[in-house]
C-alpha cells in the first residue's frame, strides 16, 4: 500500500504536490502582506516619522490604522492570487486592491483619523472640521491611476516570480519577488504621500518650527529680513502663549488643500494658526 502511494507521488507533477501548493500560497500571502506594508509605510510611515519630531498629536495614528487595513487587503490579494493561480484573476484582484488603497489614502487622514482622535481625546472632537470636498475626488482619481499601474505590475508578476522563488535554491532568488513588490508598492505609496499627506504635514511642521523659532529667539533682536522670511509677525496675537507647552493638529482646510489652519493647544488655551501655500499668515486665540 505504501509502495503504491510512493509510486503515485513520484508520478505526480512537482508543482501540484500538496506541500508545494502550501508553499506557493504561503509565498503569495507574504507577497501580499509585504506589498500592503510597503504601500502603508510610504503613504503614512514617512509622514509619521516627520511628525513624531514635532509637537503634533498622535503622529503614528495614520500609519497604524492605514497599515492594518493595507496588510489585510494586500494579504488577501496575495493569498487569493496564489490560491486561484490565474493571471486574469490576479489582475482583477490587484486592480481592486489598488482601488481600496487609493480610497484609504483619502479615508485614513480625512475620515478615520479625526474620528479616532476625537475618541482618544475629547478636547479635539469639536475642533476638527474635516470635510470631503469635490476637489478630493480628482486627487483620488490621480492616486488611483498611479496605484493601479503599480498594482497591475505587482499582480502580473506575482505568479511567475513567486513560483520561481518556491523552487529556488538560493536565498537571493527566494527574496527577489518580495523585494520587487516592496519597491513597486513603495513608489505607489510615495505618490499617495505627495498628493494627500504632504499638504497636511508641511503646514503643521511650519507652524511648529515657527513657534519654536520664536521661543528660541525670545528676548533677542531678530534680523528684520529673517523675521519676514520666517513670518514671525504671524505669532503677534498669541505671543504671550508661545512659552507654554504645546501640541498641534490640523483643524481644517480648503477644498484644494492650499489653505490649512492648524490648531495649537497651549496647555489648555487654544490658538488657530492659518497658512496659505505652507506660509503662516496669522495666529489668533481660538474661542473656548
Q: Check whether 10 has a pLDDT greater than 70.
A: no
How many whole angstroms separate alpha carbon 207 and alpha carbon 40?
A: 26
pLDDT tens sequence across 155-185: 999 999 998 998 888 899 899 999 999 999 9
pLDDT (mean) for 126-149: 87
Q: Does the pLDDT at position 202 exceed 90?
A: yes
Residue 131 pLDDT? 86
Q: Does the pLDDT value for residue 227 go beyond 70?
A: yes
For residues 143 and 245, give the distance between their C-alpha atoms in angstroms, rounded to a whole number: 37
| CA separation for the pair 264, 235 (Å, rounded) | 12
Q: Measure the CA–CA gap between 108 and 193, rounded to whole angstroms.
A: 12
CB 261 within 8 A of CB 272: yes
CA terminus-to-terminus distance, the chain: 83
Amino acid at each position: 500500500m505504501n509502495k503504491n502511494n510512493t509510486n503515485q507521488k513520484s508520478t505526480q507533477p512537482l508543482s501540484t504536490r500538496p506541500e508545494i501548493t502550501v508553499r506557493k500560497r504561503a509565498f503569495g500571502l507574504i507577497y501580499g502582506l509585504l506589498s500592503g506594508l510597503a504601500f502603508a509605510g510610504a503613504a503614512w510611515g514617512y509622514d509619521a516619522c516627520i511628525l513624531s519630531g514635532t509637537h503634533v498629536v498622535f503622529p503614528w495614528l495614520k500609519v497604524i490604522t492605514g497599515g492594518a487595513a493595507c496588510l489585510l487587503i494586500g494579504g488577501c490579494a496575495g493569498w487569493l492570487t496564489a490560491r486561484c493561480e490565474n493571471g486574469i484573476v490576479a489582475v482583477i484582484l490587484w486592480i481592486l486592491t489598488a482601488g481600496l488603497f487609493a480610497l484609504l489614502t483619502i479615508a485614513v487622514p480625512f475620515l478615520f483619523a479625526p474620528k479616532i482622535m476625537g475618541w482618544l481625546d475629547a478636547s479635539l472632537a469639536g475642533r476638527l472640521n474635516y470635510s470631503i470636498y469635490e476637489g478630493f475626488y480628482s486627487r483620488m482619481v490621480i492616486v488611483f491611476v498611479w496605484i493601479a499601474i503599480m498594482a497591475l505590475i505587482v499582480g502580473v508578476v506575482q505568479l511567475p516570480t513567486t513560483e520561481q522563488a518556491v523552487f529556488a535554491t538560493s536565498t537571493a532568488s527566494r527574496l527577489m519577488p518580495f523585494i520587487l513588490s516592496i519597491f513597486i508598492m513603495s513608489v505607489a505609496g510615495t505618490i499617495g504621500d505627495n498628493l494627500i499627506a504632504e499638504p497636511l504635514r508641511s503646514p503643521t511642521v511650519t507652524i511648529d518650527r515657527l513657534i519654536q523659532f520664536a521661543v528660541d529667539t525670545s528676548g533677542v533682536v531678530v534680523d528684520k529680513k529673517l523675521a519676514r522670511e520666517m513670518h514671525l509677525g504671524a505669532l503677534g496675537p498669541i505671543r504671550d502663549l508661545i512659552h507654554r507647552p504645546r501640541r498641534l493638529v490640523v483643524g481644517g482646510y480648503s477644498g484644494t488643500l492650499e489653505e490649512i489652519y492648524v490648531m495649537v493647544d497651549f496647555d489648555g488655551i487654544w490658538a488657530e494658526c492659518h497658512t496659505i501655500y505652507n506660509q503662516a499668515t496669522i495666529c489668533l486665540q481660538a474661542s473656548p
